[in-house]
Every structure is written in structure tokens, then in C-alpha cells.
Amino acid sequence: MYTKLNMSALRKINCGLGLLIASFFIALPGLSQLETAMQCVQVNQAGNASITWEQAMDPASVFEQYTIHLFEPSSGLVLETYNIPNPTDPANPSFVNTTYDANTTELCYFVVTEGPTGTFGPSSDTLCSIHLTADPALAPGTVDLNFNSPYIGSQSPTPFAEPLSVELEEADGSWSQIGIVADNGGMMTTPYSLDECSGDLVFRVKQSNALTLCDQISNQAGSTLSDEFDPDPPLITAIQVDYAFQEALVEWESSPAADLAGYIIYICNGGFQMAIDTLFDPNATSYLDLNSNVQAYIESYNVAAFDSCFVAGEPDPGAASEYCASSIFLNTASVTCSDEATLTWTGGFNLPGEFTGYEIWINEEIPSGSGNWSGLQMMQTLDGSVDQWLFQGATFGATYQFHVAAQTLGGASILSNVRTLEFSYPGAPEFTSLRRATVNDSGAVSVVVDLDPNCNDVHAYTLQRKRSNDPDFFDIETLEGVAGMTLQFEDPTAETDAMSYQYRVQVYNDCGDSVGASNTAATVHIEGISDYQLLKNTLHWTPYADFPGATASYRIYRKTNNGGSTEVLTQLPASVLSFEDDVSNMLLSPGDFCYIIEATDAIPGPDGSINYALSNTLCLTQEPVIWVPNAMLIGGYNNEFKPVISFADFTNYRLDIINRWGDLMHTTTDVESGWDGYFNGEPAQEGAYGYFITIQDGAGRIFEEQGMMTLLVSE
């Protein structure tokens, strides 16, 4: 049985033994030569401590044995006494302790030499094993190394104690010094910061003793560190339209990160951001997207920086800017049957600062098709609050190119796309193609229409809508377009969560005559139900009609975890209009599942990309599933009461334990924290206890669970 002593008592015992034995040896000459001193304590990888001390002088040949005393300084607990009688001479001053693990705590030793029965040499000094821990610090990539002095069990540190050397194990098994700490006789700490991307590190502490020629060596402590600092995103200053290439040119200010290795360029579309290129150049400040559609609509981009700490050989980008920055999109429309044209522009969103003004630039070709361009001329300067301008005095039979240059506070110019208009009496386009009618993030319907590239006359394009119970189409919006433009309509009044809608575009020339119509499109409408028993979500949807080609397939997208990342569940042929999503393997998610159907065209769009149309967003929620143990045993296998919960959002989680008198025994809002059966530091009484659990599902609905559990206490 262990005896608990405080440090003061141990020191008094140690010193008292020494005085007693010393006084005894005055009466027995020669016994005083049995005095010895500790040399070092070394800990191996298994946690075994090797203790060595000075050989006791024994000229009188009275040596019987060494007695080693072991205690734990943190608890003041005397752990063990070891007698080493064999061989019965003083020339065996060492011992290996395999009973107590020096990897878990520091252990202190002192030695008493025994002579004839009842006689002792003086007690040696006290020497402790060095116990090292490596704990992750608050700062990422940093570890706190905590360790004790080998003299922590003594009344005061040895005045000639050497500093302690903190060492790191190298790849070849050797040790390198990473710090030196003066021995203060107690507890010490020193930080270590990672100078590489990541590493599984092993440390030890060593103290050399010039007098004993023996090194104190601690246990080995490991820690896994990684560089968690991501570079700050660069500031996007402009989304230009390069005048020579007529492609989007992204410009930014360099990221201030010290460890900068390059940038990743993202294109933004419909709430999605997709990486389109990686620049392994920390000095890059611009990127030309040769695949942009900046002539057809607003293009939006984002940029993230990355450092030299790659993951699986690939750059690990930091967070990009919160919002995507966009280009300035210019649209032009000539006034019906006249020499006038209206320029309208929008975009330049999420760029720093406000625009102070706009410049209107024109290039004129007379006659059309001759190649005889007059050269760029700045026609007008406008205030930054203006977003349109009326061009007057065009020559019939001539062609004009227009672009807008937005002026920034710093004096720079941001160019829009170029629009070309030919002034002639309008004819009729050969075709008007409704590329897609797709539901956007806001629930509105976006309609994209491609115009006849060979028709150089300005026409009015009126979007019309029809519900299933409407007798005919009615007008929604009218835009003007010419020569292969792509028009983008928005129908914010559509109730896309309730039904599918049909859309078409009627075409009118500048003189108000109806000259054609597009194909008719029908949006995809998705509905579904959640099966709480089988843990399935069943989806079905209306077919899309009609693409310029034909519907090739349907992709099903799913978002989880309150709007988290989006994944493609499956791709189905056009003949399939339903799907069952088994979510039984996603019990740890909050249980909210949002679905979008994407119909794909059999032929690509005008730019060669996939033509698609999205459905409304359908969100289904699985009810939380709560498993609760009915008993727990303090000191047994099931020694903690903690519910297991699936399909839940733990934002409003709460667990209360009460006794039969209604007293609150335990409460927590941490789902990982259960009840250990203790109250005020003591085991609670055996018996029945009530529990109350509050949780919410992924849709924010509150669920409550209550019941009884039995508490048992192990003997």
C-alpha cells in the first residue's frame, strides 16, 4: 500500500536519515565511507528509467546492499522501495525501473547504503527523471514543450546544475539542439515553431553533468504540427475587357502574405465558383481568360492565393474574397427606324470604391464591311451615377463600335465589352434560339436567348410566359438585340417552387412589325418527400422542353449541412424523371438536404460549353434520430451517459439530468460532453434519474426528448 507524504516531509525524512546514519558512523569508523551520491536518471523510449549513482567506498568491507527509494513529487506519494543486495558489494551502482512508466510523469529517486544489520550510510541527494510533454500551443504551427528540473524533488536545485538542452529528432535518428533552458529547479517551458509545412516531430530534453560524466535524458514526446496560416486573398481591382482580345482580364493587388507561391483563378456562375487556372507565380497581378464569355454577358471572377505548403502535391488555396468581382457589360439598342442608339451598361460589382465617371468611345466604319474604320474617338464623359447614353446622328449604311470606360478614384480606366451596331432598315432574323430557361438562386427564372449572327438589324425581343392553366402566353419583358447577341431575361415573378412555366420569345423589328418567334421552353419543377422510416428522400420532376438540340440527361445535385458544399449525386437519361436518395449513410449530417435538377442539352451552346437548365431548389429534412442509454455504471464499461444523435443541428443542443426531487445534477450544451455520474465531485446516489434533451433539425425545428435512466455505482 502506498503512503502519501508531502514534499517537505520527504525532504525532512531524507535529511534526517542522513544525519542519523552519519552520527551512527561516528561510533563505527569506516561506515561513513558508505556515503554515495546520485549521478543521473535516463528514460528510454519504453518509459523505463535507468538510475545510476556513485559507488560507495567500503574500506571496512561492511557493505550489505543499496536501498533505492522512489516517490512521485507531484502527488507526494512514496511509490516503492527497492533493495539491491546482490552482488553484495558496492560496485553495482545502477538500477532499471520497469515498474513505473516515466513516460507519464516525473519520478524521483534517492539511495541509502546499508551496512551490518541496523546500520545505514547517509542518504544520497534526490534526483528525478525529466518528464517532457509536447502540447499544441494556441498559435498554429507551434508546440509548447513543458518539462521539470531533475532537482524538482530536492529542497533547492544543485547550484552547479547545467542548463537543459531541448533536442529534436532528425530523420536519420540523430538529435539536434533547438533550445537551451536554465535549470530553475522546478517546471520549465519553451515554445517551438514549425519552420516547414507539416511534420510529425519527436522531442527530448538532456542535461549534461561535467562532474559525473553522465547525462540526464528525458522521455521522448511527440507532436504533429502543420502550417495553418492561409495567405490573405488579393484585392481584385478590375475585371477588364482586353480591347485587343475582347476577353476578360482580371487584375488584382498582390497578396501581403510572406509565404506566397501563386494564385488560383475562379469563375463565378449561378452561385458556384469553379477554378479555371493556377498561376505558379507570386508576382502575377493579372490573368487573361481566353475562354471568357465577356462579350455575351457579365463575367464574374474571384482569386485566391496559395503558399508553398501543398496538399497531396497540389496547391492549398486560402480563402478567396467574400464576393466575386464582375466585368462591365455594355448593351446597345438602336431607336426604332431612326439614327439613334441607346447604350446601357451594368456590372463592375464588388470592385473597390465607386466609379467617378464614364467615358463613351466610338469607332465608325463607312460603309459597313469596307474595313474603313475612322479610329477610336471619345464621344462623351458622364457622371458615375449614369448608366446609359443616347447616341444620335448615325449614318445609315454605316457600322459603329461602342465601349464604355469606367473611371476609378485612382485615375485608372476599366473597359467594358465592345458592341457593334449597323444602321440600316431592319429585316427579319432567320432564327431566334431560346437556349435555356433556368431557375436561379433567388427562385426567379433566367432565360438566355441566342440571336441570329447574320442579322445585323436591331430587333425587339419580347419574353412571354404561360402557366399550364393559362389559355395563352402574356408578355414579361422586352430587350433589344442584334447580330448574334445573347439576351438574358429575368422573370422574378415566377413561383418556381409551385409549378413549371413555359417561355418563348416573340421578335419585332425596329418598326414594330412581328417577324418571328423562338422555340418554346418549359422549366424543370422538382418535388419530393422524405421517408423517415427508410431514411430516403424521393424526388420527381417535370421534363425540360425544349432545348435547341434535345434533352440529353438529368444531373441531380445535392447540398447538405445548411447550404454546404454541392455534390453531383447521379446523372440519369432523359427518360427518367424520378430518383430515390438513400441518406442512411449520412446520419452525422444535420438532416437537411437540398436538391437541384440540371437538364443538359444534347448539343453545346454557341460558345461550345454545355447548355443546361436548372430546376427550382427542393429542400427536404429528415427528423433527428436520438438513441439514449437506459443505464450507466460508474467505474464500469458504460461509465458515461451521453445520447447518440443523428440528423440534427447542434446549435441549440441541451442536455439536463435531474434527480427524483427535481434537482439539476448535470447540464451541458456540448453534444460531446456526457454525464460521468458525479455531482459536486462525488459519485451521485444510485437510482433513477430523469433526462431532458433539446435539439433542432436541419430546418431549425425544435425537438425534445425526455425519459429515465438508471445510475449504478461499481463496488
Q: What is the pLDDT of residue 463?
A: 97
Q: Is the pLDDT of residue 426 over 80?
A: no
Q: What is the pLDDT of residue 201?
A: 86
Q: What is the pLDDT of residue 300?
A: 96
Q: What is the pLDDT of residue 87?
A: 55
What does the pLDDT average to over 443-454? 94
User: Confidence class of residue 580 from pLDDT cuts 50, 70 and 90?
Assistant: very high
Helix (H) or strand (E) holding 363: strand 357-365
User: Confidence class of residue 638 from pLDDT cuts 50, 70 and 90?
Assistant: confident
User: Confidence class of residue 57 from pLDDT cuts 50, 70 and 90?
Assistant: confident
Q: What is the pLDDT of residue 2?
A: 32
What does the pLDDT average to over 318-342? 87
Give the 3-state secondary structure of 122-175: CCCCCEECCCEEEEECCCCCEEEEEEECCCCCCCCCCCCCCCEEEEEECCCCCE
**Torsion, Cα of 427, 465, 331, 480 (10° steps):** 20
Q: Is the pLDDT of residue 228 over 70?
A: no
Q: What is the pLDDT of residue 322?
A: 87
Q: What is the pLDDT of residue 19?
A: 34
What does the pLDDT average to over 552-578? 87
Q: Is the pLDDT of residue 17 over 80?
A: no
Closest listed residue to residue 416, CA positions, set 464, 355, 370: 355
DSSP symbols for 439-497: E-TTSPEEEEEEEPTT--S-EEEEEEEE-TT-SS-EEEEEEEE-TT-EEEEEETT--TT
User: Confidence class of residue 5 from pLDDT cuts 50, 70 and 90?
Assistant: very low
Q: Is the pLDDT of residue 614 over 70?
A: yes
Closest listed residue to residue 380, CA positions, set 392, 371, 389, 372: 389
User: Confidence class of residue 606 from pLDDT cuts 50, 70 and 90?
Assistant: confident
Closest listed residue to residue 79, CA positions, set 104, 109, 50: 109
- Report the alpha-carbon distance of residue 443 to residue 493 in Å, rounded: 9
What does the pLDDT average to over 350-369? 93
**pTM, to two decimals:** 0.39
Least confident of 92-101, 313-322, 338-347, 414-423: 313-322
User: Confidence class of residue 198 from pLDDT cuts 50, 70 and 90?
Assistant: low
- Report the alpha-carbon distance of residue 69 to residue 3 in Å, rounded: 13
Domains, the chain: 3-128 (2.60.40.10), 132-226 (2.60.40.10), 235-326 (2.60.40.10), 328-422 (2.60.40.10), 432-522 (2.60.40.10), 526-621 (2.60.40.10), 625-713 (2.60.40.1220)
HSE value, Cβ hemisphere, 13 Å, CA-based, for 238: 23
What does the pLDDT average to over 129-139? 88
Q: What is the pLDDT of residue 428?
A: 83
Q: What is the pLDDT of residue 131?
A: 96
Q: Is the pLDDT of residue 316 over 80?
A: no
Q: What is the pLDDT of residue 235?
A: 92
Q: What is the pLDDT of residue 408?
A: 92
User: Confidence class of residue 14 from pLDDT cuts 50, 70 and 90?
Assistant: very low
Residue 278's contacts (CB-CB under 8 Å, 6 or more residues apart) are: 262, 263, 264, 265, 315
- Report the alpha-carbon distance of residue 404 to residue 381 in Å, rounded: 10
Q: Is the pLDDT of residue 29 over 50?
A: no
Q: Is the pLDDT of residue 257 over 50?
A: yes
Q: What is the pLDDT of residue 139?
A: 73
Q: What is the pLDDT of residue 21?
A: 33
Helix (H) or strand (E) holding 11: helix 7-27
Least confident of 309-318, 435-444, 481-490: 309-318
Q: Is the pLDDT of residue 552 over 90?
A: yes
Nine-digit cell string for 280: 505558379
What does the pLDDT average to over 508-533? 89
pLDDT tens digits, residue range 94-121? Answer: 999 999 999 999 999 999 988 887 788 8
- Report the alpha-carbon distance of residue 316 to residue 699 in Å, rounded: 32
Nine-digit cell string for 209: 553533468
User: Confidence class of residue 13 from pLDDT cuts 50, 70 and 90?
Assistant: very low
What does the pLDDT average to over 487-510? 93
Residue 3 buriedness (CB in 10 A; 0-12 / 13-18 / 19+): exposed
Q: Is the pLDDT of residue 557 over 80?
A: yes
Q: Is the pLDDT of residue 158 over 90?
A: no
Q: Is the pLDDT of residue 15 over 50?
A: no
Q: What is the pLDDT of residue 22?
A: 35
Nine-digit cell string for 235: 484585392
Average pLDDT of the chain, as a whole number: 86
What does the pLDDT average to over 512-530? 92
User: Confidence class of residue 36 from pLDDT cuts 50, 70 and 90?
Assistant: confident
DSSP-derived 3-state class of residue 22: helix
- Report the alpha-carbon distance of residue 367 to residue 373 in Å, rounded: 9
What does the pLDDT average to over 651-660? 89
| 109 or 197: which leads in pLDDT | 109
